[in-house]
Amino acid sequence: RIENFSKYATIVVFCCSATGVLLPPYVIYKSDFVYDLWCQNGSNGEPCCTEDCCKDGSSYNRTKSGWIDRITFTDLFKKVFLPHAKRLKGRKVLAGDNLATHFTPEVIRLCEENDISFCFFVPNSTHISQPLDQSFFRAFKAA
């Protein structure tokens, strides 16, 4: 449902576990500011994880370019992935593309401290190897 035409670039980042648990989306606007109006009625609870780690629902940020950068990736990692991963026992694996924005000292440190391995896809292969592209988004685009 389109409610506002004032934003001309928006990225929505999705994280999903191997068991099919969907974490709350992380929305990045192309803007100098994030307005309160843009952060209303985001996903909270079903179909996303309903555990306490995800109780705050969708997270929002902005970049001047509209693309994810080191600051927004670190924020996404800390707000969306890490709280969920911390409640899981044992070694965790985060799979993603090998974008330079993922290689921040803070994210690497947090991975080491929380028993998380960051597994990267082969460069230029995410359209064929990224699990959400192959499962969820392929069906979504076809529909």
**77 alpha carbon, distance to own chain's centre:** 7
Summarize pLDDT for 22-32 with one digit per residue, the tens: 899 999 999 99
Q: How confident is the model at residue 14 (pLDDT cuts 50, 70, 90)?
A: confident
Entry field: residues in the chain: 143
| Closest CA relative to residue 60, chosen from 109, 25, 107, 8 | 25
* pLDDT (0 to 100) of residue 11: 86
* pLDDT (0 to 100) of residue 103: 77
Is the pLDDT score of 61 beyond 60? yes
d(CA 135, CA 128): 10
| Closest CA relative to residue 36, chosen from 5, 1, 62 | 62
d(CA 106, CA 45): 28
The more confident residue out of 137 and 43 is 43
Q: Map the chain to HEC letters.
A: CCCCCCCCCEEEECCECCCCCECCCEEEEECCCCCHHHHCCCCCCCCECCCHHHCCCCEEEEECCCCCCHHHHHHHHHHHHHHHHHCCCCCEEEEECCCHHHCCHHHHHHHHHCCEEEEECCCCCHHHHCHHHHHHHHHHHHC
The more confident residue out of 8 and 81 is 81
